[in-house]
Amino acid sequence: MFSRYISFLLFFWLVLSTCGQNDAGASSEERATEEAVTRAVSWMLGQRQEDYSWGPFTPRAVVALTLSQDVVQVPKDEMSIITKQLNILLTLELSRNLSGESISLSRLALYVNALYATCQDPHNFHGLDLVRILRHRTNTALANTADFRLPAVFLPLCLAGDVKYEDMRRIISMHQNHKNNTDLQALEFLALTCIDRMNTISSTKHYLKSMLTDLIRLNHNFRSLNDVYTHALVLQALNAASDSPAEVKSLIEKQLPGWLLRQDRKCSKDITLSRSSSYRLSETSPPKVHYSVWVGEGDNRDAHSVTVPLLPNGTFFDVMNGAQARNRNFRFSYEETKNGKHVYSLAGIPNDVQRELYWGLYTTKREPNGVRPHRQMKKMTVGVDRIYPAPGDHFIFWFKRYSSE
């Protein structure tokens, strides 16, 4: 029963994301579709448990019902109860472990998406930044899993503006390894489409076109797809194509005759809900990171400092690249090691083994001073591409003798 429920729910979600507004000139097919959606909403509401939730399926159900508001209005009080129950369930799951580690990665992504769909801020869910937790756990999974198979986690990260170039490369790599898996192909296409729409990373157009071609070729005859779950994912992916070719539009119309693509829903906070099933928070000025390069010690120390915008989920390697683009005193060279990118030269000054002078990276929340400023700082021992700065952090690359510590 539950597996059939999941499939029905996903297909229902897709129908809602591809249907449009009804009007006086609606055809009989359009009216029939609207009636079917109305029955689907009623059926879904009737499947709730005594606590007004759908158990483990609550995040998906909440997103589907939220999207239905443009077609079939769920009473405001009803949606309020549903949203509160979503929050209660998430709070209970988080209470088992405040770091969010007790929730599976895929489930955490579903909850983040559901919070977006209900116009809530997953960056501050009772003081917890669920987007940051999702990002951290995704990074860990990517680093430790050779065959990562959860492209869906990139959707809420993208909608939070928290994606980077490595995410795009991993999505493309996954797509190349999943040529015969329609479900994963569709989710990978959706994730890359979101990244392209957010304009967070350039050079996605070429890959999107190639992935779209693969998806159309693999699923040209949709009626051969017996699995409604797969059917829904494919249609959703094709509908997400920003510049849908005539062939794609024709395929969608064969499944949903006469219906126009739905308009984006608006949250009360002036946040749009896109066809990808969620909305992006309104933009604010990016946080900053302070970065200094020190050469020498004491009064003879030569110092240069710069303040660099912190990109969403940017690493310190990104900060260094931004700094060297502004000032030649921050140009650097590095080598790949098992611990990540190791910097051995800065400002044209390489490590000097014979004199025991080396570059060391430190971090602090304030400007260090005094005779032994390193006591106010924490030394970093991993590669610069594995360090994720927090807003307001101060990083210092210091060229000095280790024996001076």
For Cα atoms 243, 73, 50, give the angle at the middle one, nearest 5 degrees. Answer: 115
In the numeric block, the tokens 């015969």 are attached to 180
Terminal-to-terminal C-alpha distance of the chain:
65
Task: Using DSSP, state whether 283 is helix, strand or coil.
Answer: coil
- Name every residue whose Cβ is closer than 8 Å to that of residue 176 and which is 6 or more positions away in sequence: none
- Separation of alpha carbons 391 and 290, rounded Å: 9
Task: Using DSSP, state whether 323 is helix, strand or coil.
Answer: helix
Confirm if 285 and 273 have CB atoms less than 8 A apart.
no
CA-based R_g, the chain, Å: 25
Annotated ligand binding at 227? The verdict is: yes
Kindly list the distances between the CA atom of residue 330 and the CA atoms of 158, 325, 364, in Å, as whole numbers in the listed order. 30, 8, 19
Count Cβ neighbours within 10 Å for each residue of 245-269 and write b for 16 or more, e otherwise: eeebeebbeebbeebeebeebebee
DSSP 82-93: HHHHHHHHHHHH
- Separation of alpha carbons 358 and 399, rounded Å: 5
In the numeric block, the tokens 């030569």 are attached to 302
- Determine the number of helices (DSSP H) and then strands (DSSP E) in the chain: 13, 10
Confirm if 157 and 135 have CB atoms less than 8 A apart.
yes
Alpha helices, H only, 219-342: 228-240, 246-255, 316-326
Confirm if 129 and 123 have CB atoms less than 8 A apart.
yes
Annotated ligand binding at 183? The verdict is: yes
Kindly list the distances between the CA atom of residue 183 and the CA atoms of 107, 152, 166, 318, in Å, as whole numbers in the listed order. 17, 10, 22, 33
In the numeric block, the tokens 């700065």 are attached to 389
Known binding positions: 183, 227
Known binding positions for cyanocob(III)alamin: 183, 227
